[in-house]
Amino acid sequence: MSLTSASPLEAAKAAKQASHVLATLPVSARNDALTAVHAALAAAKDEILSANARDLEAARLAAEHGELSQSLVSRLDLGKKGKWEDMLKGILDVRDLEDPVGKITLRTKLDDGLELTRVTCPIGVLLIIFEARPEVIANIASLAVKSGNAAILKGGKESTESFIAISKVISAALAATDVPNGAIQLVTTRDVIPQLLDLDQYIDLVIPRGSNELVRYIKSSTKIPVLGHADGLCSIFLEQSADPQMAADVIVDSKTSYPAACNSLETLLVQEAALDALLPPVAQALIAKGVVLRCDSRVKAALAGRLSPELAAKLENASDADFDTEFLSLTLAVKAVSNIHEAIGHINTHGSKHTDAILTQSSELAELFMSSVDAAGVYWNASTRFADGMRYGFGTEVGISTNKIHSRGPVGLEGLMIYKYQIRGQGHVTAVYGEGEGKKRFKHEKLAL
């Protein structure tokens, strides 16, 4: 691993060369590297958190002047809500996962002595561009090493101190392992993102971690495939049969446990038949947690007569734009819908294909919702905040994808693998096979893995 000021082209070439070596390292060598990284980061906790505190101080000043969003400042805080502990645990979780490289997923006997296999292999070189989120460095490094992928990381200026501190520790740890020096490149040169995005002959996949503006810019500026999501516009449909206490618990957790996260709740859709009985206690619980409710006219009218005048006065009018907004804060758009079909239609029109949930006691309606909503994650009676690689058992994640091909949802080791087809023969040639007289036919027999 290297903390490099090399040109983008030099960094990409070095990563490509290293990727070929890393892909062939035995799993024991890759696991040993992760053990070394974990130990080094644990030993350097005070130094790294001090660097992070300097970044936070500068970011808070920038936020006060309107130069940074509060959600970005929240994401920058490495010491918040167990983030440091989760980062370290993720490294060991990834280390202890089954080796994803070289797994045979298909075997076919084409003919006697001619066998086709499909085997998993790394993608190659990953480019990760991130804002804030200093834990991304450790997450990506561990997933890349375990999966046999090389990675180039470029952080935003708001996380410079954290980036350098973490990078130096990981670099020193990997230097004593079998992982090639160029396999994990941490680019420190400023204003190089456009050049990196042009290097499609060396870089195989771009993974952005940051604002929707960053993701949209990257998607429009490169020929390299992009894995990620621009918005986390997550919705919950509150159906009339839902258990009241369960509904309040799930909705409050989805919105308030970490409002700046991409898997937090942004839109609450309430069945009209649930407005009188189910919504008021949910609204009270949300307001008690400091959530600002932006309500459509039907919701506001229903709540106005069932909340205290003090709470009712806190309700705000929703605009059409609110139902297309990722607030990343304690603001929630609330809309009444007549039935599940209207809810599904709203989500498929306004959602971001991230994570959506239904709260109901009807298994029939739940299955309809989960099969009809077009999203990477669809849940029944569960918080949207479960959309997370660690919670899915992936160890950690490189990000959450809303793509329609390859990986969707939290992307862990499996999402960083592709596959290749291998044929083992004995001098076989295609000319002897066909449908005419004297031609051989393929056997196409499925073989056990």
In a domain, 431, yes or no: no
Does one domain contain both 223 and 262? no
Mean pLDDT of 24-49: 97
In a domain, 442, yes or no: no
Does one domain contain both 209 and 249? no
In a domain, 80, yes or no: yes
Q: Are 379 and 355 in contact (CB under 8 A)?
A: yes
- 310 has pLDDT over 90: yes
Mean pLDDT of 58-71: 88
- How high is the pLDDT of residue 87? 92
In a domain, 432, yes or no: no
- How high is the pLDDT of residue 1? 52
Q: Are 154 and 15 in contact (CB under 8 A)?
A: no
Does one domain contain both 132 and 242? no
CA 143 to CA 93: how far, in whole Å? 10
Q: Where residue 36 sits, what CATH number does that domain have?
A: 3.40.605.10
Does one domain contain both 262 and 183? no
Mean pLDDT of 338-366: 97
Q: Where residue 300 sits, what CATH number does that domain have?
A: 3.40.309.10
DSSP β-ladder status, 399-401 and 409-411: antiparallel
The number of distinct structural domains making up the chain is 2
- How high is the pLDDT of residue 3? 63
Does one domain contain both 55 and 150? yes
Does one domain contain both 141 and 205? yes
Does one domain contain both 284 and 406? no
Does one domain contain both 127 and 86? yes
Last residue of a domain, one of 386, 409, 443: 386
- 33 has pLDDT over 80: yes
At residue 54's C-alpha, the angle toward residues 385 and 39, to 5°, is 65
CA 26 to CA 18: how far, in whole Å? 15
Does one domain contain both 271 and 358? yes
CA-based nearest residue to 395, from 18, 31, 121: 31
**What is the model's pTM?**
0.85
Domain that holds residue 247: 234-386
Does one domain contain both 262 and 367? yes
- How high is the pLDDT of residue 73? 87
Does one domain contain both 132 and 21? yes
Last residue of a domain, one of 343, 362, 386: 386
Q: Are 41 and 47 in contact (CB under 8 A)?
A: no
Mean pLDDT of 382-387: 97
At residue 18's C-alpha, the angle toward residues 101 and 29, to 5°, is 50
In a domain, 427, yes or no: no
In a domain, 447, yes or no: no
Q: Which of 124-133, 136-145, 396-405 has the lowest mean pLDDT?
A: 396-405
- 7 has pLDDT over 90: no
Give pLDDT tens digits for 190-248.
Answer: 789 999 999 999 999 999 987 778 888 999 999 999 987 778 899 999 999 999 999 99
E strands of 289-346, at which residues?
Answer: 292-295, 316-317, 331-337
Does one domain contain both 127 and 247? no
In a domain, 324, yes or no: yes
CA 189 to CA 8: how far, in whole Å? 9
The label of the residue with tokens 């060598």 reads 29
pLDDT, averaged across the chain = 93
- How high is the pLDDT of residue 238? 98
Phi, psi of 64 (to 5 degrees): -60, -30
Per the document, the length of the chain is: 449
Long-range contacts of 286-292 (CB under 8 A, 24+ apart): 286/251, 286/252, 286/255, 286/256, 286/332, 287/311, 287/314, 289/252, 289/255, 289/256, 289/330, 290/256, 290/330, 291/255, 291/256, 291/330, 291/331, 291/332, 292/316, 292/330, 292/331, 292/332
- How high is the pLDDT of residue 136? 85
Phi, psi of 381 (to 5 degrees): 55, 45
In a domain, 445, yes or no: no
Give pLDDT tens digits for 101-139.
Answer: 999 999 999 999 999 999 999 999 999 998 878 888 898
SS3 for 150? strand
Name the pLDDT band for 322 (thresholds 50, 70, 90). very high
